[in-house]
Amino acid sequence: MPEGNEIHRWAERHTKAFVGKKLHVEAPGGRFADADAIDGKTLKKIHAVGKHLGYEFGPDAILHVHLGRYGDWTEGVGELLPVKGALRVRLSRQCAKKAGSSASPRSAQDDNGEASTTRHGWYSEDDGSTSLEPADVDWIELRGPSDCSLYDREQWKKLLGRLGPDALNGDDPEPAFAKIARSKTQIAALLMDQSVLSGIGNIYRAELLYRARLSPFLAGKDVPKTTVEAMWNDSIPLLKAGMVDRRIVTTLPKDRPHGEGKPLKPEVHYVYRRHGKPCWVCGTKVQRQEMAGRSLYWCPTCQAE
Ligand SMILES: [Zn+2]
């Protein structure tokens, strides 16, 4: 599931590609009824807050997208492709609307002459990184989101009111610290609660706790404030690094078996999806357990209660 790093990465790329331009908006699958309301309008701004994206065409015309567990954007250059799969919405520069015309598609073609696309397979070998410059992107397609709908300003305001501070937006973290300090809920659950902190998902949750050497089972109120502050501060560079190429790397070179250099794929995390394998630091088997419907990973020695 995409976390805050991914959401902000899309916002940054799509801003470079589309903000200030008139866009053609279509929903060929018929599952986004309000496409017509923003079709042909100029995209003013893109908001990224936690795991939410907002494509603002006007104060009362904000395309809200939550990717959920399975949603993803595809980017493309040149001609629009025939509609494939469960396409929820497609945004394109008006000049890109030339499917079936004789206009020649622009750069980034593969050998078959088809416009290039990137389709990211979660946890596959393909890390989704692309050499495509955002300014060259002509169209984007959205598939599998948990929400794609048009918000007015009141709905957007309500959404913001429900979300905790987002480290990638430079928000003041104090409201989150205060909620954690009062809470009897386990810290691992609080980190995932978007009303406490927004943008942290399962990978960052597990890895931030490990890097703080903190037991996931401590109640929020029992975690020293300095530790909570340290995790917040730690999350900022980690989230920013995760915006670069869709990979989240949390291990320090000194803790990886191969040390310096680009980390090997199995060495990018301390505990996330490493259950049953030895902790890089102490050798104890990494554990996994369900917590609030999501798998939690931790090292019982480094993160002892
Ligand atoms: Zn350990």
Q: One of 9, 13, 26, 51 is an active-site residue; which one?
A: 51
- 169 by Cβ neighbours in 10 Å (0-12 / 13-18 / 19+) ranks as middle
- Distance CA(270)–CA(251), nearest Å, equals 6
CB 286 within 8 A of CB 277: yes
Output the CA 73–ligand 1 centroid distance in Å: 36
Q: Is the predicted pLDDT of residue 129 greater than 60, yes or no? A: no
For residue 139, CA distances in Å to 67, 97, 118 come to 18, 9, 12
- Distance CA(300)–CA(181), nearest Å, equals 23
Ramachandran angles phi, psi of 58, nearest 5°: 180, 165
Q: Is the predicted pLDDT of residue 125 greater than 70, yes or no? A: no
294 is catalytic: yes
Q: Is the predicted pLDDT of residue 108 greater than 90, yes or no? A: no
- CATH classification (class only), 4-159: alpha beta
Output the CA 185–ligand 1 centroid distance in Å: 24
pLDDT of 172 reads: 98
Q: One of 16, 97, 294, 300 is an active-site residue; which one?
A: 294
pLDDT of 128 reads: 52
Output the CA 179–ligand 1 centroid distance in Å: 29
- Distance CA(34)–CA(63), nearest Å, equals 9
Residues with CB under 5 A from ligand 1 (ion): 279, 281-282, 284, 299, 301-302
pLDDT of 101 reads: 43
The correct answer on CATH 3.50.50.60 for the domain covering 165-298 is no
**Residue of 195 and 81 predicted with greater confidence:** 195
Output the CA 282–ligand 1 centroid distance in Å: 4
- Distance CA(101)–CA(39), nearest Å, equals 21
Q: How many CB atoms lie within 10 A of CB 179?
A: 17
Per-domain residue ranges for the chain? 4-159, 165-298
Confidence of residue 131 (pLDDT cuts 50, 70, 90): confident
Output the CA 233–ligand 1 centroid distance in Å: 22
45 is catalytic: no
- H/E stretch holding 178 reads helix 174-182
Output the CA 208–ligand 1 centroid distance in Å: 14
pLDDT tens-place string over residues 30-81: 899 999 999 999 999 999 999 999 999 999 999 999 999 999 999 999 988 8
82 is catalytic: no
CATH fold match for the domains 4-159 and 165-298 = no
254 is catalytic: no
Q: One of 3, 6, 26, 79 is an active-site residue; which one?
A: 3
